[in-house]
């Protein structure tokens, strides 16, 4: 008799709850109709990729920024309702966002 069986005998009215994993939480990002703008700039001589135009909650956009930074293994930040990624990663970012179901519009260059 393992621990789960012993606990069921002690507490017969208890119902097990399903644990929520981080993958389930990440999949609940709000989708929008308008495209996200993906543009390229140079600041202080260094290339950056900027994502703008997300109309959902800031928390969802921050989760998306964190996922992009970890998948691309680059640095970046979330400022003024835009995601700033260090380097020119427009193609990879657009592929990741399209894979998630977002509409993406490439601006500049």
Residues 77-101 as b/e (b if ≥16 CB within 10 A, e otherwise) read: ebeeebbbbbebbbebbbebbeeee
Q: Residues 6, 15: contact at Cβ < 8 Å?
A: no
Query: CA-to-CA distance for 84 and 76, rounded, in angstroms?
Result: 5
DSSP one-letter code for 20:
P
More confident of the two residues 5 and 47: 47
Joined tokens for residue 53: 């135009």
User: Is 50 exceeded by the pLDDT of residue 73?
Assistant: yes
Given this model, what pLDDT does residue 81 score? 87
Q: What is the pLDDT of residues 7-28, one digit of tens each?
A: 888 888 877 776 655 555 445 6
The answer to whether the Cα torsion of 57, 93, 78, 47 is positive or negative is negative
User: Is 80 exceeded by the pLDDT of residue 90?
Assistant: yes
């Amino acid at each position: 008799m393992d621990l789960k069986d012993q606990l069921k005998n002690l507490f017969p009215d208890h119902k097990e709850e399903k644990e929520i994993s981080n993958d389930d939480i990440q999949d609940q990002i709000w989708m929008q109709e308008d495209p996200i703008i993906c543009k390229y700039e140079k600041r202080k001589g260094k290339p950056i990729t900027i994502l703008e135009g997300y109309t959902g909650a800031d928390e969802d956009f921050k989760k998306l920024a964190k996922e992009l930074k970890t998948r691309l293994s680059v640095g970046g930040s979330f400022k003024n309702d835009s995601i700033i990624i260090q380097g020119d990663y427009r193609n990879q970012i657009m592929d990741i966002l399209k894979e998630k179901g977002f509409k993406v519009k490439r601006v500049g260059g």
